[in-house]
Chains A and B, each alone.
Chain A
Amino acid sequence: MVGEREECAGMHALLNRMLHVFVEDTYGTEVWCDVLEGAGLSAVELDSLGPQTIRTTRALSRAVETVLARSVDTVLEDVGTYLVSHPNAQSVRRLLRFCGTDFVDFLHSLEDLPDRIRLAVPSLSLPEIEVAEEREARFLITCRGPLPGVGHLLAGLLRAMADDYGTLALLEHEGRSCDGDRLRVTLVDTAFSEGRRFVLGAGGAAPLLAGRHP
């Protein structure tokens, strides 16, 4: 049971870190300080890992909503886009691009993503992702996990990845049902644009979420 809790804490810590670098890189350090203050947290509390991490995520989400005056769901969607497109999160985009040769290949590979991540960080348990090809160029993605909002993050991330591959796709978040968040992806044009170049050997040892460098 303790192990399960730790895994959960790892995922929350990751989410906290994502919110942190996203807010700081997009809105600036001052706004991030406002969020921390609003959440009643210190920077150290944010870094510490433990059962309190889950509470931290909740406090942080509420503060983000207040300070940015936006729903946390739309913020999480932007976080997803940020992870793929911002220079400070380059290693995330690279890792995702490893997973598939084109966007469709990438969508299918999402099911393997939690296992891939577990290979690198055994204690980190990503939500289970199921990808069903309903018919040609139409996919239903179900994201099962205890973390609310992960579906929105995934939606933003997939939208940006489609762009990265040069694919024109429609993405709808169909809400949260009993078996998790459901996303519907419809491919309109798989060769819409050139997409961004991706070669395997260009990565350095950049931190996963580097964030703003002081």
Chain B
Amino acid sequence: MTGPDPILDALCPMHLRVDLNGRVIHVGPTLRKILGAAEIEGAAFFQLFTVRRPRGAGTMAALVSGARRRAKLELVRAPHTPFVAQVVPEPAGGAVINLSFGIGLAAALGDHALTSADFAPTDLTVEMLFLIESKSAVMASALERNARLHSARVVAEEQALTDTLTGLGNRRAVDLELARLAARRRPFALMHLDLDHFKAVNDTFGHAAGDHVLQEIAQVLGDAIRTGDVAARLGGDEFLLILSRPPSPRALELMARRLVRRIEEPIHYRHALLSVSASVGIARHDGTGPLDLVALFDSADAALYAAKSAGRGRVSLAPSDRTEPPVSPNRIAPHDGA
């Protein structure tokens, strides 16, 4: 065979024939488009292509003998498109070399303006490109949808009433409950809790341990309240109980002490025993007179502050609720076995 072969052109539009001396005899129609130059016949093969594999093959003999099945070529000029090549030796010397873009086809097609008609109908190049493009389009759509769902989730979380870590109510739940209570003219009490030594647990055992402690405390608080009451986590290690049928101030104080003792029971975590305590400030609204929520909250807060400054693990009642002189802030020793 010497001249162009229409059958080979149709079946392998990216082939070329090279003679014994490395001169190009013929180039398939698609490869001609890629090479761009009109006068390729007669050009030196090794000036058009760099042979990457078999490594260092600079003659036809070396290319033919070295490339058992698969050779790797690269365009000498930019954009240095890489090719996978099959080298089939001809009896008279020289070879038919069929090229393909291999897996680099997406990049290669970005550099060369080719259409489906440039590939043989049985060639899966176009199918592969279809797959690449549809996959990335689907992926991009999925990412977009994820982003939309994420922002929806953020909105939903803002509207949620539950603290996701502990399952207790959150600040929003507290606001709603207080607004509800303010509308009724009945007594209720706020018990403001702040954990002691929690930071030490976090610092020593890590945040997972800290989270575990918060969940255990949430369990204790949830068990302590009655139907109609609200237990909430205000954030960090700060909790609030809203008691809708509060007992006397004295009984409230005892209840808070029991809570503190329960909280001080060591918590098992992996192989460690974690100990925290809590300070509690209590404020009570007696159901008569105007209700100033902010002031009530402030007094619970002030009571908590007083408990904190009197030492850890203490309970303090807001001044207006004290019916008797303040109980001397008796230190409750941790694990006092009560």
Residues of A within 8 A of B (CB): 43-44, 47-48, 91, 94-95, 98-101, 116-117, 119-121, 198-210
**Min distance, Cβ A126 to any Cβ of chain B, angstroms:** 12
B114 is an interface residue with CB less than 8 A from chain A = yes
Complex Cα–Cα for A206 and B143 (A): 11
Q: Is the CB of A43 within 8 A of B148?
A: yes
A200 to B115, CA, bound (A): 5
Complex-state Cα separation, A209 to B60, whole angstroms:
51
**Given known A95-B134, A98-B126, A98-B129, contact A200–B114 (CB-CB < 8 A):** yes
Cβ of B160 within 8 Å of any chain A Cβ, yes or no, is no
Chain B residues near A99 (CB, 8 Å)? 130
The closest CB in chain A to the CB of B113 belongs to A199
Chain A residues closer than 8 Å to B112, beta-carbon distance: 201
Beta-carbon contact of B152 and A47 below 8 Å: yes
CB distance from A185 to the nearest CB of B (A): 20
Contact in complex: A207, B137 (CB < 8 Å):
yes
> Which chain A residues border B140 with CB–CB below 8 Å?
205-208
- 23 residue pairs A–B, Cβ–Cβ below 8 Å: A47-B148, A91-B133, A98-B133, A101-B115, A101-B116, A101-B117, A116-B130, A116-B134, A121-B134, A121-B138, A198-B115, A199-B113, A200-B126, A201-B129, A202-B110, A204-B136, A205-B136, A205-B139, A205-B140, A206-B137, A208-B138, A208-B141, A210-B144
On chain B, the residues within 8 Å of A95 by CB distance are 130, 133-134, 137
Q: Does B291 contact A (CB under 8 A)?
A: no
Beta-carbon contacts under 8 Å, B98-123 to A: 106, 108-117
Residue of chain B at shortest CB distance from A42? B152
Q: A98-B130, A201-B108 are in contact. List 4 more A-B contacts (CB 8 A).
A: A98-B126, A116-B127, A119-B131, A201-B114
Count of interface residues, chain B, beta-carbon cutoff 8 Å: 31
A186 to B137, CA, bound (A): 32
Which of A44, A48, A201, A210 counts the most B-chain CB atoms under 10 A from its CB?
A201
What is the interface of chain B, defined by CB distance below 8 A to chain A?
106, 108-117, 126-127, 129-131, 133-141, 143-145, 148-149, 152
A2 to B112, CA, bound (A): 46
B129 in contact with A200 (CB, 8 Å): yes
**Residues of A contacting B143 with CB < 8 Å?**
207
A99 to chain B: closest residue by CB: B130
Interface centre among B133, B135, B152 (most CB of A within 10 A): B133
Q: Which residue of B lies closest to A106 (CB)?
A: B116
Contacts of A121 in B (CB 8 A): 134, 138
* A120→B152 contact, CB < 8 A: no
A43 and B144 contacting across the interface, CB-CB below 8 Å = no
Given contacts A201-B106, A207-B144, A98 and B116 within 8 Å (CB-CB)? yes
Interface centre among A120, A200, A208 (most CB of B within 10 A): A200
In the complex the two chains form, what is the Cα distance from A198 to B130 in whole Å? 14
Least CB distance from B248 to A in Å reads 49
Residues of B within 8 A of A47 (CB): 145, 148-149, 152
A contact residues around B135 at 8 Å (CB): 120
B141: contacting residue among A48, A199, A203, A209, CB under 8 A? A209
- Name the distance in Å between B17's Cβ and chain A's nearest Cβ: 26
A91 touches B137 (CB 8 A): yes
The residues of A that contact B130 with a CB separation of less than 8 Å are 95, 98-99, 116
Contacts of B116 in A (CB 8 A): 98, 100-101, 200
A116 to B148 alpha-carbon distance, docked (Å): 27
Instruction: Name the one of A44, A119, A202, A205 contacting B137, with C-beta atoms under 8 angstroms.
Output: A205
Q: Is the CB of A120 within 8 A of B109?
A: no
Report chain B residues within 8 Å CB of A205.
136-137, 139-140
Determine how close the nearest CB of chain A comes to the CB of B150; give it in whole angstroms: 11
- Give the CA-CA distance A116 to B223 in the complex, in Å: 58
Q: Is the CB of B111 within 8 A of A207?
A: no
| Residue of chain B at shortest CB distance from A96 | B130
CB pair B113–A120 under 8 Å, yes or no, is no
For A199, give its contact among B106, B108, B115, B133 (CB under 8 Å).
B115
On chain B, the residues within 8 Å of A119 by CB distance are: 131, 134
A112 (CB) vs chain B CBs: closest residue: B127
Contact A208:B137 (CB < 8 A) given known A44-B149, A98-B130, A116-B130 = yes
B14 to chain A, nearest CB (A): 14
Q: Say whether, besides A98-B116, A121-B138, A209-B141, A203 and B152 are in contact (CB < 8 Å).
A: no
Closest to B134 in A: A120
A205-B113 Cα distance, complex, nearest whole Å: 18
Interface centre among A94, A120, A121 (most CB of B within 10 A): A120
Instruction: Quote the shortest CB–CB distance from A203 to chain B (angstroms).
Output: 5
Query: Which of B112, B141, B149 has the most A CB atoms < 10 Å from its CB?
Result: B141
Contact B134 A117 (CB under 8 A): yes
Interface centre among B109, B134, B136 (most CB of A within 10 A): B134
Given contacts A91-B137, A116-B130, A206-B140, contact A44 B114 (CB under 8 A): no
Closest 7 CB pairs of A and B: A201-B109, A120-B134, A205-B136, A207-B140, A201-B110, A44-B152, A207-B141
